[in-house]
Structure 1
Amino acid sequence: MEGCRIKVLSTEAKASAIVRQTKSEGVVTLYDILHKECPSLTDPQTALMVPTPYLATGLLQTIYATLRVRRRDSLSDVEYDRELLVMADGGTVSLDWFSADKDDQNQIQPIALIMSGVGGSSQEHHIRVLAKSLACSAAGFRVAVVNHRGTARTPITSSRPYDSGFTEDFRTTVKHVKALYSSSKLVAIGFSMGANILTKYIGEEGTRCPLACAVAVCCPFDIKVSSAAINESNLLNDHVIQPAVMSTLMRAIRRASHLQVDPAWNLDIERIQQAQRLSELESELMVKISGHRSLDEYYEQSSSANLVDNIQTPFLAINALDDRITPPQGIPTDKFMANPNISLALVPHGGHLGFLTGIPPRIWFIKPIEEFVSAIIR
């Protein structure tokens, strides 16, 4: 069991940031939240992630999670109400809303914003499970899944796609939701690339961030490290990850073919259409559209690791040590020991967005996310 124990990195108790102060509780710090209200992360008896016996490696965890991404079961049977949100440049994102009791929505009900990784959407199994879990929790969250441009059948109304460092769509979405529900506390959870966008956003916002807290799962803090891992030629990438990601992105590109492309981008359309791997698409499309001079500069400017020091919002990152897509060498662990507002849960097993435990496999990270966000807004 020792090999399955969770390790949490944060500042010491005396240095931890104050989350709230009330007459009944006194001063409550981030350290208090983690060690008193998140047993899944810190309790010596329960802070374990024991992988499903037949999914003992990160590779198997990742493949299994990818193959069951569309699975429907009693834990994920949610029906969304869709809202379309138009950005300043004419692009469109969609918000898929879910609440356990649609007849009991009020202006103070807490709201959880969830954002998927590249090519993902509200329809992924782990996102539907999390949405239902948060909505049915004691806190009773109203959930809004933020679908990136062109995903989940969101209309494509701008030739500018989303990318790893593009935070403006999420910033606009947060402002929109906050304007609609000004009395509601907002929390946010991001997965993979969505975790990088979320982390970068709260770092950019600093003290202005309107979120009560944020959770990043499998965050690729260093995009260059993660890109090297995902573009390496191996069984996982060549036959699972790259085909899944590229098919989604290329489908969106084809759907956007009727839109006028900015001549200033100087895109090689033929090269984009013939791209076989994500790095090829990034170098021709993302680099030019975002105005960077090279792929390395795009990776550097898109990496949320650069902004972790600026985070002023209670923040929890969950990363697996056997994740081949966002490997641990890209995690800025030293920064989690220095910034009193942030914490990092290192999980020995889990792969990329797997974290599957028990028989039949269930998703381990659902419980610690629910514990953390519920404790922060209490």
Structure 2
Amino acid sequence: MPIIESTYKAPYFFRNGFVATVYSGLIRKVHGLNQKRERITLFDGDFLDLDWSYSEGKTEKLIIILHGLEGNAQRHYMTGTAKLFNQHQVDAVSVNFRGCSGEDNLAYRSYHSGETEDLKQVIQHVLQTTAYSEIYIKGFSLGGNVALKYLGETTHIPEQIKAGIAVSVPCYLAGSAKELHTLKNRAFHDKFKQHLKVKLLLKAQQHHDELKDSDISAIKTLYDFDNLYTSKAHGFLDASDYYEQSSSLQFLPNIQIPTLLINALNDSFLSSECYPIKAAKNNPNLFLEMPKHGGHVGFYQRGGFYYNEKRALKFVDELLHEDS
């Protein structure tokens, strides 16, 4: 599929990637979305919290939304998407990954960039308990990698799933990890690291045999965190093995349903490999859009809703309903 020429024009102040990223992550507000929480039990006895929001009237359409690293269903990029789709007769279920809904999960393991089994269980739950005939999946950053990996690795995707959208995706995890450890991303790196270490100390209280406070205190980088916890808790040899096996880049050629990937060229979290031009040109189902601006999940646009939100809705409407 030819590369899509982006129509996104960032306002002058938001052409700076750092500004776009910080403003959208810390300052943006989305009001007026009512969410109803549902807790589901996973196959291993752990739980996931799903936050539902609904359109007016009955609909057969649903969007499943996946957040980024240490996000949750109340992040404004999540609520912005849910609210816009709700206004256009699409229900939304925003997934809180394990340990991200305000309560530590039960198991020692939690979530990671390549964890698709939990997404499969969410989809199975939706299909067993609802009657949606048209389902879309939209993921941001880490959640975008999960979505793309699921769509590319799954042999038989349920027929109800019609499209995927992924935004600001580190589809080559080793490259993005390297970028996050550079000086330009120091503030973001340290914020993520601090947040993850606090959560790990909490988890250590329930899993004394698996974690020692001294090991957690020794974590100096996100790589250290992934080497100590993410990899070991989820069955990988080390951080490098986790990055290699979990990157969605290798699964992009196998995607069989229409999927839109939006990665801004000034996203400081992404390495060059995260712009999969060759994969998009060779796969008619993969639509790659690379706006000049946008930062990381920061596609600011005046009027309340962001570009990536409106673009996702347009992608679904034009691609799936062009004959209707």
TM-score (norm 1): 0.78
Which residue number in structure 2 is paired with residue 372 of structure 1?
Answer: 315
Which residue number in structure 2 is paired with residue 17 of structure 1?
Answer: none
Which residue number in structure 1 is paired with residue 186 of structure 2?
Answer: 238
CA shift at 1:361, angstroms?
Answer: 8.0
**What CA distance in whole angstroms lies between the structure 2 residues aligned with 1:91 and 1:248?**
22
Which residue number in structure 1 is paired with residue 294 of structure 2?
Answer: 350
Of structures 1 and 2, the larger Rg is shown by: 1
Secondary structure at the counterpart of residue 195 of structure 2: helix
> Which residue identity is paired with 2:307?
W
Which residue number in structure 2 is paired with residue 224 of structure 1?
Answer: 174
In structure 2, stretches of 5+ residues that fail to align are none
Which residue number in structure 2 is paired with residue 96 of structure 1?
Answer: 51
Which residue number in structure 1 is paired with residue 38 of structure 2?
Answer: 83
Which residue number in structure 1 is paired with residue 80 of structure 2?
Answer: 129
**What CA distance in whole angstroms lies between the structure 2 residues aligned with 1:111 and 1:361?**
22
In structure 1, stretches of 5+ residues that fail to align are 1-9, 13-40
Q: Deviations over 1:27-76 (max 9, x none)?
A: xxxxxxxxxxxxxx66xxxx5222121222212212222222xx434xx4
> Which residue identity is paired with 1:290?
H
Q: 1:372 to 1:287 in 2, by over 3 A?
A: same
Q: Give the aligned length.
A: 320
> Which residue identity is paired with 2:265?
L
Secondary structure at the counterpart of residue 72 of structure 1: coil
> Which residue identity is paired with 1:146?
V
Please point out which of 54, 62, 77 is paired with 2:13: 54
Please point out which of 141, 145, 157 is paired with 2:106: 157
User: Does the CA contact (< 8 Å) of 1:85 and 1:94 recur in 2?
Assistant: yes
Q: 1:219 to 1:156 in 2, by over 3 A?
A: same
2:198 aligned with 1:198: no
> Which residue identity is paired with 1:165?
G
Once superposed, what is the RMSD of the aligned Cα atoms?
A: 2.2
> Which residue identity is paired with 2:80?
V
**What CA distance in whole angstroms lies between the structure 1 residues aligned with 2:60 and 2:304?**
31
**What CA distance in whole angstroms lies between the structure 1 residues aligned with 2:272 and 2:300?**
19
Alignment of 1:10-29 (within 5 A): 10-11=1-2
Q: 1:88 to 1:269 in 2, by over 3 A?
A: farther
Alignment of 1:1-378 (within 5 A): 10-11=1-2, 47-68=6-27, 71-73=28-30, 76-101=31-56, 104-105=57-58, 109-137=60-88, 140-210=89-159, 211-234=161-184, 237-239=185-187, 241-260=188-207, 269-358=213-302, 363-378=306-321
